[in-house]
Structure 1
Amino acid sequence: MSTFEEVFGTTPDGAWRAPGRVNLIGEHTDYNDGLVLPIALPNQISVTASAREDGIVAVSSNGQDAVVEFALDSLRPGSVTDWATYPAGMAWILRESGYPIGGANLFVDSDLPTGAGLSSSAALLCATGVALLGLRGIEVDPAEVARLAQKAENQYVGAPVGLMDQMASMCCTAGHALYFDIRAMSTTQIPFDPEADGLTLLVIDVKAPHRHVDGEYAARRKSCENAAELLGVPALRSIAFEELDAALAKLPEDVDRRRVRHVVTEIRRVEDAVALMHAGRLRDVGPLFTASHASLRDDFEITVPELDVAVDTALSAGALGARMTGGGFGGCIIALVETSEADKTFTAIEKAFADNGFRAPTSLAATPSAGASKLH
């Protein structure tokens, strides 16, 4: 394992961190102007950094022998490739937005599982952003850093992502979920502290390879957009839950009806979850998780056998609720369990995966954590 000093031969000026996230509920409502409810994880990406005055940014990471260097003045989309695209993209958008960042040595470390759908890309962008700004003493509102990180991923990396992951990484607080209203662009901190109620939020990485993700995501987004156009609304958020049946009756295609039903009912589940959390009834949130998974499986059709087996096994083992989290077609599930039952639940999932010939899953306990900050 490398260190900053070993790679760059100098002492760092500081270190900054940004966490990964899981979304408790609200999947695939973000591009429909909907509602999401993520928490930040204790797992994070850290960037140890020192300033340099030659306009060069040098980036390396733990486990990487190579150092990638690029000049700030010559940064353009496509000019840096591979994993360094992300720190380069954040440096580019900060400069494009008028922030007077300078050259830097950046050393990236992470305890976020890769490929698990826990927003490692957003965490890397946000950690890079707070490090580059922090080195120069530039204070920027966390939500603005999140918006810049999204722009970097959209315009530099070329990924058409929404804003939820970056907002979670920057704006979450410990012991809370972030209620993010996409249409209003507003956030509210919702009390969510399972440990205090004797509960554990298990995150299970099912280790399933993502299958046909890009085309499938695009097809679902297109279906939602087509349905909104047929219904004469700017986005599916405009359809009230009470008007759902009437809206579905206007759609000629069954696929479109199922996609719309998921989005509208998922938005209602977010609202119900927030009300229960405010009332301190965390155990009653569990059935909403389970209903969300059924909708994602049957109406949105983005689960895979590993996700379904993990959810069904967790419920059979006594979980209060369980669902896939993230974009689907692989990634993770979350399960709300009594803390005394957490080990038993994961052991049951391990056995079920072995019985089905799946790769061995891994788990972590998702303590609702704080957003990006300086480490030292």
Structure 2
Amino acid sequence: MLDLDALRRRYVEVAGAQPEGLWFAPGRVNLIGEHTDYNDGFVLPFALDRKAVIAAGRRDDAVLRLVSLELDEDVTVPLDALAPGQEGWAAYLAGVAWALREAGHDVGGATLVLTSDVPLGAGLSSSAAIECATVAALCDLYGLQIAPIDRAKLARVAENAYVGAPTGLLDQAASTLCEKDTGLFLDCRTLETEQVPLPLEAQGLEILVLDTKTPHSHVDGEYGARRATCEAAAKLLGVPALRDVTDLADALAKLDDETMRKRVRHVVTEDERVLKALEVARSGDLAALAPLLDASHASMRDDYEITVPTVDLAVEQAVRSGALGARMTGGGFGGCIIALCRAGEGERIGGEITQAFDEAGHGTPEWFTVVPAPGAGRLA
């Protein structure tokens, strides 16, 4: 639980006055649709009830003062010194101010004090939550009328161009656009969206999120390498993006490189699974999502090769312990799994995964059950 009183007190210590407001943005769980976003495909995330919150106020000295409550760190950056390549947590906030200014928006100095309970490095988009909360704060502080999808795009610019992580739009769109008790179906090419009801509790279901505590980073080479392979494959196949592959067998026959074939197979079949999941959600029988989750994980493990032993063990044990279906969620190489469970079963299943980790000599994971939550906005 975030301590918003402590956040306000820290702001007063830093700025000598009360903040002009508090703004938030949530982390997200991707129900299904991994590494499809930058291939112009489809995704189906929902927002978590864990979030980043920023206490903010304007300054008149053309400076950003950025403070992290949890890290107890304080960074000052002059607006005219903002430039891509900055490292560390503060880059995600500074990058948003840079992206807004680069887009021609009149953004001045600000004091931004951050707190967050979105786990870091777990595949739950802690970075997007920080970015989107910053966008919300700066837009309100400086009276910027920017549509929600365009706010998500600006947050992505901050992550791509300023921080240097080659992510797609999924994370920022989910953190900005999601609504309570729904998933967000997003066509990453057209940016058309559909709010899809996810009445988990009414159907006697819950989603367990388990953090394997295996940190990952999108800035490292593995994520970028897969994106580059997909783009190269699309070029060889003569299509704008892998989303446009309509005959998978024909496409695979045209590719000589086995690694490239694997990457293409994952993206094409994952897009198909997202569309099937959308049909399932529309039908109202959410338990039928289970085999799609299982198939998605197998594809990420065998074709996209982005899982790691702790993640695979967590998924396997979740199913052995009675989860209806389970998969890794997020960019890969660590982070979290999700498991679709009968209501009240998540706690037991999380405990049994922990026991399996202990027996295998891994560290202790953390877990919680989640409820689809609303996207970014103002708290106070």
For the criterion TM > 0.5, the same-fold answer is yes
2:317 matches 1:313: yes
Please tell me whether the aligned partners of residues 213 and 329 of structure 1 are also in contact (alpha carbons under 8 angstroms). no
> Which residue is equivalent to 1:286?
290
RMSD: 1.7
> Which residue is equivalent to 1:116?
122
SS at match of 1:303: coil
Change in Cα spacing, 1:143 to 1:177, as seen in structure 2 (3 Å) is same
- Provide the rounded CA distance (Å) in 1 between the counterparts of 2:157 and 2:39: 19
> Which residue is equivalent to 2:52?
45
Deviation of 1:207 (Å):
0.9
Change in Cα spacing, 1:211 to 1:185, as seen in structure 2 (3 Å) is closer
Deviation of 1:187 (Å):
1.2
Change in Cα spacing, 1:121 to 1:183, as seen in structure 2 (3 Å) is same
Match of 1:361 among 344, 365, 369: 365
The worse-fitting range, judged by mean Cα deviation, of 35-44 and 92-101 is 92-101
Change in Cα spacing, 1:272 to 1:17, as seen in structure 2 (3 Å) is same
> Which residue is equivalent to 1:205?
211
- Provide the rounded CA distance (Å) in 2 between the counterparts of 1:100 and 1:35: 34
Match of 2:33 among 26, 35, 38: 26
Match of 1:135 among 136, 141, 145: 141
- Provide the rounded CA distance (Å) in 2 between the counterparts of 1:338 and 1:166: 30
2:256 matches 1:269: no
Change in Cα spacing, 1:33 to 1:50, as seen in structure 2 (3 Å) is same
For residue 284 of structure 2, what is the amino acid of its counterpart?
Answer: G
For residue 29 of structure 1, what is the amino acid of its counterpart?
Answer: T
The worse-fitting range, judged by mean Cα deviation, of 340-349 and 219-228 is 219-228
Query: CA offsets per residue over residues 198-235 of structure 1, 9 Å max, x none?
Result: 11111100012439973322332233223222222221
Deviation of 1:69 (Å):
1.8
Change in Cα spacing, 1:281 to 1:201, as seen in structure 2 (3 Å) is same
Deviation of 1:346 (Å):
0.8
SS at match of 2:89: helix
Match of 2:335 among 328, 331, 348: 331
- Provide the rounded CA distance (Å) in 2 between the counterparts of 1:367 and 1:45: 16
Deviation of 1:81 (Å):
4.0
SS at match of 1:300: coil
Pairwise mapping of residues 243-262 of structure 1 onto structure 2 (< 5 A)? 243-262=247-266
Identical aligned pairs, as a percentage?
53
Change in Cα spacing, 1:27 to 1:67, as seen in structure 2 (3 Å) is same
Please tell me whether the aligned partners of residues 23 and 53 of structure 2 are also in contact (alpha carbons under 8 angstroms). yes
- Provide the rounded CA distance (Å) in 1 between the counterparts of 2:215 and 2:156: 25
SS at match of 1:24: strand
Change in Cα spacing, 1:29 to 1:5, as seen in structure 2 (3 Å) is same
- Provide the rounded CA distance (Å) in 2 between the counterparts of 1:285 and 1:54: 53
> Which residue is equivalent to 2:3?
none
2:353 matches 1:346: no
The worse-fitting range, judged by mean Cα deviation, of 42-51 and 202-211 is 202-211
Q: TM-score, normalised by structure 1?
A: 0.95
Query: CA offsets per residue over residues 134-157 of structure 1, 9 Å max, x none?
Result: 123333211111111111122222
> Which residue is equivalent to 1:35?
42
Unaligned runs of 5+ in 2: 1-5
- Provide the rounded CA distance (Å) in 1 between the counterparts of 2:51 and 2:184: 17
Match of 2:77 among 70, 78, 82: 70
For residue 153 of structure 2, what is the amino acid of its counterpart?
Answer: R
> Which residue is equivalent to 1:177?
183
> Which residue is equivalent to 1:165?
171
Change in Cα spacing, 1:29 to 1:64, as seen in structure 2 (3 Å) is closer
Please tell me whether the aligned partners of residues 198 and 338 of structure 1 are also in contact (alpha carbons under 8 angstroms). yes
Q: TM-score, normalised by structure 2?
A: 0.94
Query: CA offsets per residue over residues 258-316 of structure 1, 9 Å max, x none?
Result: 22111111111000000000010100001100010011111111111111111111111
SS at match of 1:70: strand
Query: CA offsets per residue over residues 42-89 of structure 1, 9 Å max, x none?
Result: 1000001122222222111113444322222443334x5432112111
Please tell me whether the aligned partners of residues 33 and 183 of structure 1 are also in contact (alpha carbons under 8 angstroms). yes
SS at match of 2:55: strand
Deviation of 1:122 (Å):
1.1
For residue 295 of structure 1, what is the amino acid of its counterpart?
Answer: S
